[in-house]
Every structure is written in structure tokens, then in C-alpha cells.
């Protein structure tokens, strides 16, 4: 009877939560073993991205490269546009004669840098990428930008101060004659005579670019006012 009473008084209700806890522990251990097996067999390794994602990434990367090449060409054209503001304007060259004075080292550096960049300029961004010449072209454009900035700043700073008194007088005379040469109120003969004298005064001081001479001659012949030389940087020329 004593044994029966012992079992009768045993707290059977404690068995159920203990079983539940034990079962949960067994299940967790099984899941852990299964996860370990999957990792050891490579089943848990990250999957490769879909082929469509790879193509999209490559396409986006190519678009970024094309955009970068296009911007590089635009930077090159911007410096050329700044140079055209001098190349097509004789009055500006008279005010800042150093921009075409090949006796000045900074001017020579700028001209060389321009030729190097122009020689590497591609026909299109895609052509630049196809030739794999981005790095070389970028370096040439950056050198061109720096060389032009240095030459222009020095030309603006000096103006005609580094020329002799005689050369300064000739530049001043050419500046006055140029106003007559492009004055629409002057007669055709007056404009032509003034233009001829301008060329004579500038001889040996400023080497006028062919483009500047052509633009000036059009204005002289047609009697166009200043700023109407036709092809100007603000008209989109580059």
C-alpha cells in the first residue's frame, strides 16, 4: 500500500512540460545538424545572380562610361570655345596680344597642349571607348585646360605691358583704326583703308589667326558692327 500511495501522490503533471522542453531541444539539435550538413555540401551557399541582373549591371556600367567620355569631350570643346573668343576677334587679340605671342613660354605651352588634345579627340564617345584611349585623352584635355588658364590669366594681367613703348603705340593705333574698319557708318573705302592700316600696325607684333582675318574681312566688306562677325563662340561654335 505504501508503494501505491507513493505513485498515487507523484506529481504527474510535471512530466508534460518536461517532455515538451526535451522535445524542443531534440528538434533544435536536429535542425542544427541538418543546417551543418547543408553547409558542408554547399546547399547553403548564396546563389548566383540571375543572368538578367548581370546584363543589366553591365549595361549600366557601359552607360556610365559613355557618359563620362561624353563629358570629357564637352570639357575639351569648352576650352576650344574659350580660345575661339580670341581666335575670331581681332579687337580682343589687340587687347590681350600675349594669347598669340609665341615668344611667350605660356603661350607656347598652351598651343602645344591644344594640338595634343585636338589630335586625340575622338569622333564620338563610343569611338573613344572602343579605342581604349580614355586615360590618354583625359590627361591631354586636363593639360590643355590648365595651360590655357595659365596663358589667359597672364595675358589679362600683362595686357601690353611687356611690349616696348613703340609697340604699345602701334597697338593703340591699331585699336583705334579697327573701330573705323568695322564701323557701319563709315564708307566702304574708309573701312578698307582702316583695315589695311590695322594689318600694317600689327605686323611683327601680333600674328593674326587665319580665322580672325577672315572674320574681320567679312565685317569690313559688309560693314557689320562689332559682334557681328558671323561665327562666334556664343553661336554654338566649339
Best CA proximity match to 167, nearest among 226, 111, 98, 215: 98
Domain ranges of the chain: 57-235
pLDDT of residue 59: 77
Three-state SS for the chain is: CHHHHHHHCCCHHHHHHHHHHHHHHHHHHHHHHHHHHHHHCCCCCCCCCCHHHHHHHHHHHHHHHHHHHHHHHHHHHHHHHHHHHHHCCHHHHHHCHHHHCCCCHHHHHHHHHHHHHHHHCCCCHHHHHHHCCHHHHHHHHHHHHHHHHHHHHHHHHHCCCCCCHHHHHHHHHHHHHHHHHCCCCCCHHHHHHHHHHHHHHHCCCCCCCHHHHHHHHHHHHHCCCCCCCCCCHHHCCC
Place of cell 533544435: 28
Q: What is the pLDDT of residue 4?
A: 54
| CB proximity list for 174: less than 8 A, separation 6 or greater | 94, 197, 198, 201, 202
How many residues are given for the chain?
238
Q: What is the pLDDT of residue 97?
A: 95
Asked whether 64 and 70 are in contact (CB, 8 A), the reply is: no
pLDDT tens over the chain, length 238 residues: 555 555 555 555 555 555 455 555 555 566 666 666 655 555 555 566 666 776 777 777 777 888 999 999 999 999 999 999 999 999 999 999 999 999 999 999 999 999 999 999 999 888 888 877 889 999 999 999 999 999 999 999 999 999 999 999 999 999 999 999 999 999 999 999 999 999 999 999 998 999 999 999 999 987 755 555 444 433 333 3
Q: Look up the pTM and report it.
A: 0.68
- What is the per-residue pLDDT for 232? 41
C-alpha cell, 9:
501522490
Amino acid at each position: 500500500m505504501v508503494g501505491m500511495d507513493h505513485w498515487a501522490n507523484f506529481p504527474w503533471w510535471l512530466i508534460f512540460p518536461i517532455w515538451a522542453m526535451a522535445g524542443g531541444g531534440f528538434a533544435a539539435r536536429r535542425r542544427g545538424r541538418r543546417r551543418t550538413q547543408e553547409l558542408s555540401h554547399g546547399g547553403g551557399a548564396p546563389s548566383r545572380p540571375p543572368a538578367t541582373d548581370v546584363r543589366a549591371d553591365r549595361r549600366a556600367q557601359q552607360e556610365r562610361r559613355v557618359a563620362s567620355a561624353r563629358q570629357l569631350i564637352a570639357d575639351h570643346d569648352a576650352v576650344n570655345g574659350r580660345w575661339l573668343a580670341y581666335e575670331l576677334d581681332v579687337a580682343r587679340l589687340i587687347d590681350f596680344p600675349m594669347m598669340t605671342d609665341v615668344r611667350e613660354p605660356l603661350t607656347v605651352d598652351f598651343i602645344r597642349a591644344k594640338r595634343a588634345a585636338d589630335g586625340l579627340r575622338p569622333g564620338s564617345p563610343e569611338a573613344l571607348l572602343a579605342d581604349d584611349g580614355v586615360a590618354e585623352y583625359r590627361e591631354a584635355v586636363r593639360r590643355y585646360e590648365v595651360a590655357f588658364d595659365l596663358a589667359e590669366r597672364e595675358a589679362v594681367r600683362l595686357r601690353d605691358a611687356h611690349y616696348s613703348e613703340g609697340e604699345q603705340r602701334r597697338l593703340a593705333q591699331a585699336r583705334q583704326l579697327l573701330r573705323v574698319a568695322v564701323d557701319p557708318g563709315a564708307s566702304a573705302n574708309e573701312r578698307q583703308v582702316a583695315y589695311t592700316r590695322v594689318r600694317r600696325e600689327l605686323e611683327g607684333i601680333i600674328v593674326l589667326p587665319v580665322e580672325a582675318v577672315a572674320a574681320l574681312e567679312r565685317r569690313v566688306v559688309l560693314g557689320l558692327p562689332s559682334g557681328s562677325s558671323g561665327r562666334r563662340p556664343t553661336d554654338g561654335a566649339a
